[in-house]
Amino acid sequence: MTLEIITADALAPMRHGFFTRRGGASSGIFEGLNCGPGSSDQAEVVSINRARVASAMEVAPAALVTVHQVHSAKVVTLDAAPGGDRPKADAMVTDTPGLVLAILTADCQPVLFADAEAGVIGAAHAGWRGALSGVLENTVDAMEALGADRARITAVIGPTISQRAYEVGPEFLDDFLVEDPQNVRFFANGDGDRLHFDLPAFGLHRLRKAGVGGASWTRHCTYHDPERFYSYRRATHRKEADYGRLISTIRL
């Protein structure tokens, strides 16, 4: 099956893609393009999937760079593919041509950034914890350190969990209200004391507040489209043993 790649005109002319699960070699609960080495999928199959992504991005597999994501606000600046263990971080920036920045997600926000004029790109993994602690703003800052101008930076949020699928408890809201009482607007009432959190709207708010020139969401929900996307929350509700990871990439 052919790979399915979602792109955004706003990121042109940078080669990029939010890959769906279609076109991969994995089977069973991972069926499709599982690119997560941290999953319990067969390592050799994950390597095949990642090689297919690298080929689509027109680089060797070694140039497809991922980090050890830990739901932090840490950003690493790269001028080459890191050797040895992947750095613990949740975002990357570079001004090096031919290096593909890749983020793995399964409900969290994959965010791709570009300042085409400066030749600087970024990629971030922004779940609620990372977004609240500043990973998006830190990515913009790191791009500026390489010569980007935040007013020229375009940021696009790829497939992520939508508000109607993201049910949380009241204690979840407290963390957001401590930072800013106005954050209540990203929550809607659910059943009983349950709430529904709008992660992509929160991400867009943080990006726009950071002063980027453009911020948008592709408007794909990972939870409600099992044929195209992996979802941690859906797998949990189905009591599945594990889940696949989607990959989102960008290169100069």
DSSP code per residue over 83-150:
PSSPPB-SEEEE--TTPEEEEEESSSEEEEEEETTTTEEEEEEE-HHHHHHTHHHHHHHHHHHTT--T
Phi, psi of 205 (to 5 degrees): -60, -45
Q: Per-residue b/e over 99-128, b at no fewer than 16 CB within 10 Å?
A: bbbbbbbbbbbbbbbbbbebbbbbbbbbbb
Say what percent of the chain tops pLDDT 70.
Answer: 100
Strand 246-251 and strand 187-189: the pairing is unpaired
> Is residue 8 pLDDT above 70, yes or no?
yes
pLDDT band at 208 (very low <50, low <70, confident <90, very high): very high
Domain residue limits, the chain = 5-162+198-251
> Can you say how many angstroms the Cα of residue 88 is from the centroid of all Cα atoms in its chain?
15
pLDDT tens across 237-252, in order?
999 999 999 999 999 9
Phi, psi of 100 (to 5 degrees): -100, 120
Q: How far separated are the first and last CA of the chain, in Å rounded?
A: 27
> Is residue 166 pLDDT above 80, yes or no?
yes
- Thinking of the domain 5-162+198-251, which architecture would CATH place it in? 4-Layer Sandwich (3.60)
Per-residue pLDDT, 222: 98
Single-letter code of the amino acid located at 31: E
Query: By C-alpha distance, which of 30, 62, 58 is closest to 46?
Result: 30
Per-residue pLDDT, 4: 98
The total of other beta-carbon atoms located within 10 Å of residue 208's CB is 13
Phi, psi of 197 (to 5 degrees): -95, 135
> Is residue 1 pLDDT above 70, yes or no?
no
pLDDT tens across 87-106, in order?
999 999 999 999 999 999 99
pLDDT tens across 27-80, in order?
999 999 999 999 999 999 999 999 999 999 999 999 999 999 999 999 999 999
- What is the chain's mean pLDDT, rounded? 97
Per-residue pLDDT, 84: 80
